[in-house]
Structures are given as C-alpha cells and as structure tokens.
Amino acid sequence: MISIIYDRGSLLIRGLYYIPFTIYDPRVKALRAEPIYYKDIIEYLKRSRLNFEDKVFEDLPFPYISLNLKLRDYQREALEAWKKANRRGVIVLPTGAGKTLIGIKAIEEVKKPSLIVVPTIDLLNQWKDKLEELLDLEIGIIGGGEFKIKPITVCTYDSAYIKAELLGNKFYLLIFDECHHLASLGYRQIAEISAAPYRLGLTATLEREDGLHLDIPKLIGGKVYELKPSDLAGKYLAEYEIKRIKLELLPDEEEEYEKNWKIYTDYLNKKGLNMKGIEDFKRFLMVASKDREGREALLARNRALKIALNSRAKLEKLKEILKEKDDKTIIFTQHNELVHRISKEFLIPFITHKTSKEERREILKGFREGRYLRIVTSKVLDEGVDVPDASLGIILSGTGSSREFVQRLGRLLRPKGDKKALLIEIVSKGTKEVEFSRKRKRILDAPTRTISS
C-alpha cells in the first residue's frame, strides 16, 4: 500500500520506487519530497489511479463559519480569479483596497485550517482583531512572545520561519500578507516546508528590487489579479494627484555633490562598470571592496546622495508648503537625521524605528484625533502600520523603490468625501534623485505634474 506522511519537514512516500518531485532516501528506503509538492504528488497519484493512504496533515477541528460580508465588485473578481487558479496565486491591490477581507473570504471558501503570515506585530494584531470581529472565534497567535495554534492562526514571517517544520502539516491554506517578503532566501522556506495545497499572496506591489519576486509563482502561484491606485480612485479610493517639485541645490551643496559624484563615476569608468540595475550595483560593491580607491568611491557616492536627499533648499520649500496648507500631512524621509531636523525646526511629532511602541501609538492616536495635524517619519510607516487618514503627503527623500512609493501613496487614499489627495515629491535637480523619482513611479499610470524652481 502506498502511504504518504509528513516527516521532519519533508514528505515520506512508501510503496513506490519513483514518482515525479521525489528522490530516493536509502536511509529509510523510501521516497522523499519537499512538502511544497504535496498537491502535485496527490494529483499525480489520482491521475495514475493508484490507491494510497494520505497521513500528511494533523487535522485541527475546523469550526463552521459563515460570513455575512458583502465584497466590492473588484474584491469578488479577485477572489474568483484566485479560485479559478486552483486556489493558488497572488492578488495585487493598492493599500486601503480591502485585501484583508479577501483573505478572510478565502478562509471561508476553503473551510480548512488556515495560517496567515504577516511581516509585523502591528499587522498581526490588525488581522487578529478583524478575524475575531467577523468570525467571533478565538484566533491563534504565533509571534511577539505568544505561541498558540488554533484552526485559524496569525503568525509573523520571523516566527513562521523559525517554526516552519512544526507548522508544515497543520494548515491547508497559507495566506501571505505583503507576500513580496516571502521571496527572501530565508522566508521562502515557510512555503517550501509547508504541504498546504492552497496559497494566497496579498500585496500592493509584488516587484522587488533584487528580482527575487520572480520566484513567487513557485512558492504561492502566479499573479491572478491586479489593480493600480488609478483603477480605484474616485469610487473606492480618494482621487489623487502626484506633483514633483525640482529644486536647485544651494551653491555650496552643488559643489560638494559634484565633487563626490565625480569621484564615484570616475571609478566606475576606470573599472568599466555600467550601473543599470541592482545586479550592476552588487558587482560594483564586490569590486569596490577589494581596493582602497573603490571604498573611497563608495563613500563619495553615499556623501553625494546624502547631500541630494537632505538639501537645505528642501526645508525652505517644506516651510513654504506648510504655510500654505493646513491638511493632515505625513512627511516622509529616507534618513532619521532629516526627520529630527524637521521635527525640531517645525515642532512636528516624529516616528522612526527607534520610537517606542507606546510613543508611536500615542502619536498616531493624536494624529487620528486631530491633536496633531502633521507627523514626520522615516521608513517605518511605509508598511504594516495602521496609519490614520491624511490627505497630503510630502516625500522629501526616498529610494527608487516602486513598493515604497506605492505604500506612501496608499497612506493618502482612504476616501474623504470630495477631497482630493495630494502627494508632493521634492527632489534635487541635476542629481541621482531625479532618476530615483522616475524609477519609483514606473508602475503607476497616473500622470505627474513637474514644477521646477
């Protein structure tokens, strides 16, 4: 009799000499396979009309659930697309478009034990609260010092990675929120060691700068549905405008920028290096690490970028904008140093990765209640934090990451009646930052109004 069991992070198949997706393990005289191939192996055995005993899953008793939840048209379309793809695949929707509700409806659809994997404790708590509100069930938690498995469990990526072997045969459905994280070389083991036949990825932007998102189809399934912010603006999300303001560096800043950038580009030319993407930059780092001149070129590049990203002219323009507008505003920067300068000069509360959980909660509560009209932050509010509504965003500095840009735009897109959201980018003219701005907007089809001053 053919049997399949889950054995310490792999599948063990007895009673056969060979089937696809397996290798022979002479130690146990049986076939082994990565659990990610469980669904494929079961389908192969059924097609081959072979009788087998499936002992892979430790079935958790799943409660009856029935959601009185009406999805929006596009949410229904997304869920249907996922179902048609054999309940595997990625749904790409903007921040604020209700990806969580689609995930919960997927759990209702499968009616089997389900694990939701999230990148932050904030998101873990948001999912837990929403699930408890809609399902009136006790929800399992793995992460933040808690370990409690239930038929529906929410887990951080870090905890799921550490406990991958233990969790691999307990859940039939895996939901990966912010699923671009899964492609990293460590986290992907969560998907590889799991036998879950059903998988759903949720994200606002699937692409990664390192190109590892190309591995997502193997781990979860391909992209089954996608909408951009412009597709939902006006009806489900706020109408928005993107405005780019290009500023001249101050004379002393321009001189220092040009001097440092020349050191960097001269080194590239000397070594025959052409910077077109992340792989080229990795090659530069490898070459630069081997000689003193290369290390100086890297330092010069960093100094030049810091000048462009943190120009004093930007603070003058910020002062001008804040005088003109009294909208609820989030100011985004790349570096904590600029966050602190803005907070001190304009008396604006700030949030960085060093801000305590209690202080961050208090600042966001004050922003939500209107006690604070503005907050300034580095990258910590880009993802996985429930940020109160704002209608004005000001990007003083950032990277070329499309994901970062879409997350920042998403902070402004919750509907506010007829009020139009405005995202202002302030970039230093004639510097690498202009290219960053162009790169990060490449996946959006919304026009950008550019103003030079």
Task: Look at residue 77 and give its three-state secondary structure.
Answer: helix
Scored b (16 or more CB within 10 A) or e, 67-93 reads eeeeeeebbeebbeebbebebbbbbbb
Are 121 and 133 found together in one domain?
Answer: yes
Do 349 and 434 have their domain in common?
yes
- Residue 10 backbone phi and psi in degrees, to 5: -145, 165
The helix (run of H) or strand (run of E) holding residue 122 is helix 121-135
Considering only the C-alpha atoms of the chain, give the largest distance between any 2 of them, rounded to a whole number of Å.
Answer: 81
- By the 8 A CB rule, do 415 and 200 touch? no
- H/E element, 61: none
- State the CATH number of the domain containing residue 88: 3.40.50.300
Element (H, E) at 354: none
Q: Do residues 390 and 377 lie in contact, with contact meaning Cβ atoms separated by under 8 Å?
A: no
In 272-401, which residue ranges form alpha helices assigned H by DSSP? 278-288, 292-309, 312-324, 336-346, 357-369
Dihedral (Cα; 19, 20, 22, 24), 10-degree rounding? 50
Strands 392-395 and 421-428: parallel
Residue 274 has a pLDDT of: 85
**363 and 447 share one domain:** yes
Q: Are residues 259 and 344 in the same domain?
A: no
Domain that holds residue 109: 73-227
> Pairing mode, if any, of strands 88-92 and 198-203?
parallel
The number of folded domains in the chain is: 4
For residue 76, what pLDDT is reported? 97
* Bridge partners (DSSP) listed for residue 421: 240
148 and 212, same domain (yes or no): yes
Nearest to 95 by CA among 448, 394, 403, 360: 403
The model carries a pTM of 0.87
Select from 308, 323, 353 the last residue of a domain. Answer: 308
Domain presence at residue 120: yes
Domain identity same for 263 and 245: no
Q: What is the pLDDT of residue 325?
A: 86
Return the H-helix or E-strand segment holding 6: strand 2-7
Considering the domain architecture, whether residues 289 and 418 belong to the same structural domain is answered as no
**329-332/146-148 β-pairing:** unpaired
Q: What is the distance between the alpha carbons of residues 157 and 160, in angstroms, rounded to a whole number?
A: 5
The Cα–Cα gap between 40 and 236 comes to 38
Q: Is residue 67 in some structural domain?
A: no
54-to-20, 233, 264 alpha-carbon distances in Å: 17, 48, 60
- Assigned domain for 234 exists: no
Within 10 Å of residue 34's Cβ, how many Cβ atoms?
19
With respect to residue 65, please indicate whether it lies within any of the assigned structural domains: no
Residue 371 lies in a domain: yes
Q: What is the pLDDT, as a whole number, of residue 284?
A: 86
Q: Is the dihedral of CA 167, 172, 178, 182 positive or negative?
A: positive
pLDDT at 194: 98
Q: Tell me which residues of the chain have a pLDDT lower than 70.
A: 380-386, 388, 400, 441-453
d(CA 225, CA 93): 8
Q: Are 273 and 339 in the same domain?
A: no
d(CA 432, CA 310): 13
Residue 235 lies in a domain: no
Residue with tokens 């969580």: 100
Are 139 and 103 part of one and the same domain? yes
CA 131 to chain centre: 21
- Strands 448-452 and 240-247, by their bridges, are parallel
| 379-396 residue pLDDT tens | 766 566 667 678 899 998
- Cα separation values, 25 from 18, 192, 399, Å: 11, 19, 47
pLDDT-above-70 percentage for the chain: 94
